[in-house]
C-alpha cells in the first residue's frame, strides 16, 4: 500500500527537475521482470521520487525488487527516520547505530531527516557527525525531538543542525535548548513551516531565527512562549494554533503594546486555543489580536476548574463582523464552560454555528436541553446562530497532530472520520 501511495504522489508531483537524467522505461534486460510491473516502467526520476517518499528501511529494500530498481536508492533523495530506542509503532525506522552506514553508502542529497530520542543518553556527538556529512548537506525537512518519560530535560540542539538552512522547507524541533549561535545570523529563505515544541531559546536567538525566515507560510504551530510574536512576524499567516491564552501573561508580551490596527494580525482566519485552566478574560484578550477571525476552536481541559467569571466588556471587531463559527471541544457543562458558551451566544453578532463536542459519558438528550437554557440560547445575538452537539471520545485533538503539517488539509483542527 505504501508503494502505491508513493507512486500516486510521484505521478501528481511530476518529474523532479533536479533528478539525474532518466534511463527511460525499463531496459531490455529487465523486460522479463517488468512485463507485469507497470510501476517499474516509469522513468527514473519518477521512481526516484517514489523511493524518496518511502521510510528508510522500505526505501533501501527497493534494491531487491529487480535489476531495474538497484541503482535507484543511491540516486534518490534520502529519507532517514531514526528512533532511539526502536519502536514497534515505527517499524521502518532505523537505530542510531545504522546512520553512519547509510550516509556513507548514499552520496546524497537527503530530502528528510527525522530523529526522535526517548529516554536518557547523550547522542550529541553522534548527531554532530551526522550533520557534518555530505549526505545531509541539503535537507528539505528536519525533525528533531527528545522525549523524556519522567523529568523534563532540555537537550542541547546540535550546532550543525541548521547546516541546511538555505534549503529547508520544514523544521520541527521538540524538547531542545537552542545555543545562541545556532539561530543567530542564519538565513532560511525557503522555510514555510516551523514547529517549536517545548524548546528553550533566548529572546535574541528567537528574534534572529524569525528574522531569517522570509517565507514563513500560512500556518504556524510553534508550541512555545513566543507564539503571538511568531504570528505578528508572519505576514501570510492564515491558520494559527494551538495556543494557550495564559502565555500572554509572560514578560515577553508585556512590551508589545496595546492592540491596534497597526499591530493586529488581520490575516488569520482560523485560530485554535487550548483553555485548560484559564478564564474567559484571557481568551478574549487573545481575540483582540485577530480582528478578521472567522473560525475559533477552544479545547477545554478534562477537569473542572473553579475560576473567576468574565467581568468586563470586550468590544472586538471579529465578534461584530467576521466570526462565523465557534467550536467548543470537550464541553462538559461545567460552570466555566457555560460562561464561555454564553458569552459567544450573546455577543457574536454574525455567528452561524456554535458546535459543542461532548464526551460520551456526559452526553444525553437531557444534557443538551439543559445547556440551551443555561447559555440563554433564546437571547442569541445572531438570529442565524445554530447550536450543534456532538459526542466525542479519545485523546484530546489526536487528529490535529496527525494532520497538522498536511498543507492539503484546509483546516487541520476540524474533526475527521479517519482521525
pLDDT at 174: 85
Q: Tell me the residue ranges of DSSP E strands in 120-218.
A: 141-147, 155-156, 170-174, 176-177, 193-197
In the predicted structure, residue 308 carries a pLDDT above the cut 50: no
| Domain shared by 169 and 198, yes or no | yes
In the predicted structure, residue 164 carries a pLDDT above the cut 70: yes
In the predicted structure, residue 45 carries a pLDDT above the cut 60: yes
pLDDT at 384: 94
The C-alpha cell of 280 is what? 474567559
In the predicted structure, residue 122 carries a pLDDT above the cut 60: yes
What domain range includes position 44? 1-76
Mean pLDDT of 143-148: 81
Mean pLDDT of 142-167: 79
Nearest CA to 241 out of 290, 303, 307 is that of 290
| Domain shared by 245 and 381, yes or no | yes
pLDDT at 37: 67
Q: What is the mean pLDDT of the chain?
A: 74
pLDDT at 15: 41
pLDDT at 303: 53
Q: How confident is the model at residue 322 (pLDDT cuts 50, 70, 90)?
A: very high
Mean pLDDT of 146-159: 69
Q: Count CA atoms closer than 13 A to 332's CA, side-chain side.
A: 16
| Domain shared by 184 and 302, yes or no | no
Mean pLDDT of 18-22: 40
Mean pLDDT of 57-78: 75
- Report the domain count for the chain: 3
| Domain shared by 336 and 405, yes or no | yes
Domain ends where: 48, 76, 104?
Answer: 76
Domain ends where: 216, 244, 261?
Answer: 216
Mean pLDDT of 293-301: 89
pLDDT at 75: 74
pLDDT at 116: 87
| Domain shared by 281 and 201, yes or no | no
In the predicted structure, residue 319 carries a pLDDT above the cut 60: yes
The DSSP letter of residue 169 is: S
Nearest CA to 239 out of 256, 258, 216 is that of 216
| Domain shared by 289 and 397, yes or no | yes
Mean pLDDT of 127-139: 89
In the predicted structure, residue 325 carries a pLDDT above the cut 90: yes
Q: How confident is the model at residue 179 (pLDDT cuts 50, 70, 90)?
A: confident
Name the more confident of 140 and 58. 140
Please state whether the peptide bond connecting residue 227 to the residue before it is cis, i.e. omega within 30 degrees of 0: no
Name the more confident of 397 and 83. 83
Q: State how far the Cα of 105 lies from the Cα of 242, in Å rounded to an integer.
A: 41
Q: 18-32, 207-221, 229-243, 245-259: lowest mean pLDDT where?
A: 18-32
Most confidently predicted of 140-154, 214-228, 261-275, 396-410: 261-275
Q: How confident is the model at residue 297 (pLDDT cuts 50, 70, 90)?
A: very high
Cell 485552566 sits at which residue? 277
| Domain shared by 310 and 386, yes or no | yes
Name the more confident of 352 and 302. 352
Q: Count CA atoms closer than 13 A to 304's CA, side-chain side.
A: 6
pLDDT at 13: 39
| Domain shared by 205 and 274, yes or no | no
Alpha helices in 294-397 (DSSP H): 317-321, 335-347, 365-374
Name the more confident of 219 and 41. 41
Tens-digit pLDDT profile for residues 352-362 = 999 999 988 88
The helix or strand, by DSSP H or E, that contains position 396, with its residue range, turns out to be none
Q: How far is CA 123 from CA 54, 134, 156, in A?
A: 25, 20, 10
| Domain shared by 265 and 339, yes or no | yes
Mean pLDDT of 69-76: 75
Domain ends where: 216, 233, 259?
Answer: 216
Q: Helices (H), strands (E): how many in the chain?
A: 15, 14
| Domain shared by 43 and 115, yes or no | no
pLDDT at 34: 45
Q: State how far the Cα of 319 lies from the Cα of 209, in Å rounded to an integer.
A: 34
| Domain shared by 111 and 202, yes or no | yes
Which is it for strands 176-177 and 170-174: parallel, antiparallel or unpaired?
Answer: unpaired
Residues 6+ apart with CB under 8 A from 294: 269, 270, 318, 322, 323, 324, 325
| Domain shared by 268 and 395, yes or no | yes
Amino acid at each position: 500500500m505504501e508503494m502505491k501511495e508513493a507512486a500516486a504522489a510521484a505521478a501528481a508531483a511530476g518529474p523532479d527537475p533536479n533528478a539525474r537524467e532518466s534511463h527511460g522505461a525499463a531496459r531490455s534486460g529487465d523486460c522479463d521482470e517488468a512485463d507485469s510491473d507497470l510501476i517499474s516502467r516509469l522513468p527514473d526520476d519518477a521512481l526516484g521520487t517514489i523511493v524518496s517518499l518511502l521510510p528508510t528501511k522500505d526505501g533501501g529494500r527497493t534494491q531487491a525488487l529487480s535489476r531495474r530498481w538497484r541503482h535507484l536508492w543511491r540516486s534518490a533523495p534520502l529519507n532517514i527516520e531514526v528512533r532511539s530506542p526502536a519502536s514497534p509503532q515505527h517499524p521502518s525506522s532505523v537505530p542510531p547505530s545504522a546512520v553512519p552506514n547509510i550516509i556513507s553508502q548514499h552520496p546524497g542529497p537527503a530530502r528528510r531527516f527525522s530523529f526522535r530520542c526517548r529516554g536518557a543518553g547523550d547522542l550529541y556527538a553522534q548527531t554532530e557527525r551526522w550533520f557534518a556529512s555530505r549526505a545531509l548537506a541539503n535537507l528539505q525537512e528536519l525533525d528533531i525531538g527528545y522525549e523524556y518519560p519522567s523529568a523534563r530535560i532540555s537537550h542541547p540542539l546540535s550546532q550543525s543542525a541548521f547546516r541546511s538552512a538555505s534549503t529547508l522547507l520544514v523544521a520541527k524541533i521538540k524538547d531542545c535548548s537552542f545555543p545562541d549561535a545556532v539561530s543567530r545570523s542564519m538565513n532560511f529563505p525557503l522555510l514555510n513551516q516551523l514547529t517549536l515544541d517545548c524548546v528553550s531559546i533566548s529572546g535574541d536567538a528567537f528574534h534572529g531565527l524569525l528574522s531569517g525566515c522570509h517565507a514563513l507560510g500560512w500556518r504556524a504551530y510553534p508550541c512555545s512562549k513566543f507564539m503571538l510574536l511568531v504570528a505578528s512576524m508572519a505576514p501570510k499567516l492564515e491558520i494559527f494554533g494551538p495556543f494557550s491564552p495564559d502565555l500572554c501573561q509572560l514578560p515577553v508580551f508585556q512590551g508589545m503594546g496595546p492592540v491596534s490596527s497597526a499591530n493586529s494580525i488581520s490575516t488569520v482566519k482560523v485560530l485554535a486555543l487550548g483553555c485548560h485552566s484559564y478564564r474567559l478574560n484571557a481568551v478574549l484578550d487573545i481575540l483582540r489580536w485577530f480582528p478578521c477571525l472567522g473560525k475559533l476552536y477552544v479545547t477545554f481541559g478534562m477537569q473542572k476548574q473553579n475560576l473567576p467569571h468574565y467581568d468586563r466588556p470586550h468590544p472586538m471587531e471579529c465578534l461584530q463582523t467576521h466570526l462565523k463559527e465557534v467550536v467548543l471541544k470537550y464541553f462538559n457543562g461545567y460552570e466555566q464552560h457555560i460562561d464561555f458558551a454564553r458569552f459567544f451566544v450573546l455577543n457574536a453578532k454574525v455567528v452561524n454555528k456554535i458546535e459543542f463536542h461532548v464526551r460520551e459519558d456526559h452526553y444525553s438528550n437531557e444534557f443538551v436541553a439543559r445547556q440551551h437554557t443555561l447559555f440563554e440560547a433564546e437571547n442569541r445575538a445572531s438570529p442565524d446562530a445554530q447550536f450543534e452537539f456532538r459526542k466525542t471520545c479519545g485523546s484530546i485533538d489526536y487528529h490535529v497532530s496527525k494532520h497538522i503539517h498536511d498543507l492539503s488539509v484546509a483546516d487541520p483542527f476540524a474533526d475527521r472520520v479517519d482521525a
